[in-house]
Amino acid sequence: MPMKKPAKESGRRGSATSSVVAGTDAPDASQMPIRGFSRSLPMALLRAREAVMRHFRVPLRAHGLTEQQWRILRALTSFESIEVTELARVAYLLGPSLSRILRDLEERRLIERRTLKADLRRGIVSITPKGLRLIEAVAPSSEAIYAEITRRYGADRLAELQDLLHALETSLADMPLPNGDSVADENDASL
Hey, where are the domains in the chain?
A: 42-166
pLDDT of residue 14: 43
Cross-strand bridge partners of residue 190: none
SS3 labels along 101-162: HHHHHHHCCCEEEEECCCCCCCEEEEECHHHHHHHHHHHHHHHHHHHHHHHHHCHHHHHHHH
Report the predicted TM-score, pTM, of the whole model to 2 decimal places. Answer: 0.74
Contacts of 120 by beta carbon, 8 Å cutoff, 6+ apart: none
Question: Each residue's pLDDT tens digit in the chain (191 positions)?
Answer: 454 444 444 444 444 444 455 556 777 767 778 888 888 999 999 999 999 999 999 999 999 999 999 999 999 999 999 999 999 999 999 988 999 999 999 999 999 999 877 777 789 999 999 999 999 999 999 999 999 999 999 999 999 999 999 999 999 999 999 877 655 554 454 44
Neighbours of 98 (CB within 10 A): 21
Domain 42-166 falls under CATH 1.10.10.10: yes
The DSSP symbol for 83 reads E
